[in-house]
């Protein structure tokens, strides 16, 4: 493959990864909106669209393998291709988590703990994802580190939300209410805790993307471990 064609292939890979990230971010936003609005039609769009993200992931995996096999890249080019492959894995996982959120939207049948601000946590993790992808696109080391720094804030928000749910369950003793369907109530509580956990995992994947982008840009593994 001539040199210019090879460079075009690398740029095409970058564009494809960025397009996948835009699609995943859109699905994550749709999943959050479906959860907030209990919009089953929107949720179904996210669930059915997961196969598109999975296919995109497999196509990009093959694209990376072909570049490595045919071009035998070294140094910065090899780090770029390897980082792109790892990042598509994180994006595919975030797509799965967006599908989970959509599933919770279709299953929830009551409001529990409205004081737990799921949208705020979701907004933070979505912004982390978008910043991490900007760092990948621009090879911006400072943006990579800023994503990692924000992860502690998201972890603290998730921990506080989970503690609020557990503490209120203990202190308020809702099971003393005569008309409470205890089994349905506990199912909704479990679903809320799973939602918080999944959003925390979105933040973790964003940090992974930032870590791979930093390694790609500066051969620096400080965020990888």
What angle do helix axes 3-37 and 40-71 make, rounded to 10 degrees?
Answer: 160
Share of the chain above pLDDT 70, in %: 96
Tens-digit pLDDT profile for residues 91-141? 999 999 999 999 999 886 657 777 889 999 999 999 999 999 999 999 999
pLDDT above 90 coverage of the chain, percent:
78
**What pLDDT score was predicted for residue 2?**
77
CA 225 – CA 24 distance, rounded (Å): 25
- Sole residue written with tokens 């210019």: 4
Task: Classify 74 in phi/psi space as left (phi over 0), alpha (psi -120 to 50) or beta.
Answer: beta
Q: What is the pLDDT of residues 29-86, one digit of tens each?
A: 999 999 999 899 999 999 999 999 999 999 999 999 999 999 899 999 999 999 999 9
Q: Which residues contact 39 (CB under 8 A, 6 or more apart)?
A: 33, 105
What is the spatial distance between Cα 86 and Cα 80, in angstroms, rounded to a whole number?
10
pTM of the entire structure? 0.93
Taking 3-state DSSP, the helix, strand and coil percentages for the chain, each rounded to the nearest 5, stand at 85, 0, 15
């Amino acid at each position: 493959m001539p040199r210019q064609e090879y460079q075009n292939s690398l740029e095409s890979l970058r564009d494809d990864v960025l397009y996948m990230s835009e699609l995943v971010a859109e699905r994550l936003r749709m999943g959050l909106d479906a959860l907030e609005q209990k919009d089953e039609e929107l949720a179904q769009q996210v669930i059915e669209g997961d196969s598109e993200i999975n296919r995109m992931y497999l196509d990009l995996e093959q694209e990376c393998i072909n570049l490595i096999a045919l071009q035998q890249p070294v140094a910065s080019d090899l780090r770029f291709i390897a980082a792109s492959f790892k990042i598509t894995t994180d994006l595919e996982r975030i797509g799965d988590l967006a599908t989970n959120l959509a599933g919770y939207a279709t299953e929830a049948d009551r409001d529990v703990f409205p004081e737990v601000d799921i949208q705020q946590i979701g907004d933070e993790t979505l912004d982390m994802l978008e910043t991490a992808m900007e760092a990948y696109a621009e090879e911006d080391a400072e943006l990579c580190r800023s994503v990692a720094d924000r992860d502690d804030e998201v972890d603290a928000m998730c921990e506080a939300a989970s503690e609020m749910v557990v503490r209120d369950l203990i202190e308020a003793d809702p099971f003393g209410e005569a008309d409470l369907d205890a089994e349905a109530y506990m199912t909704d509580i479990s679903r809320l805790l799973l939602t918080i956990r999944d959003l925390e995992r979105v933040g973790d994947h964003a940090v992974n993307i930032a870590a791979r982008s930093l390694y790609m840009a500066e051969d620096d593994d400080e965020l990888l471990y």
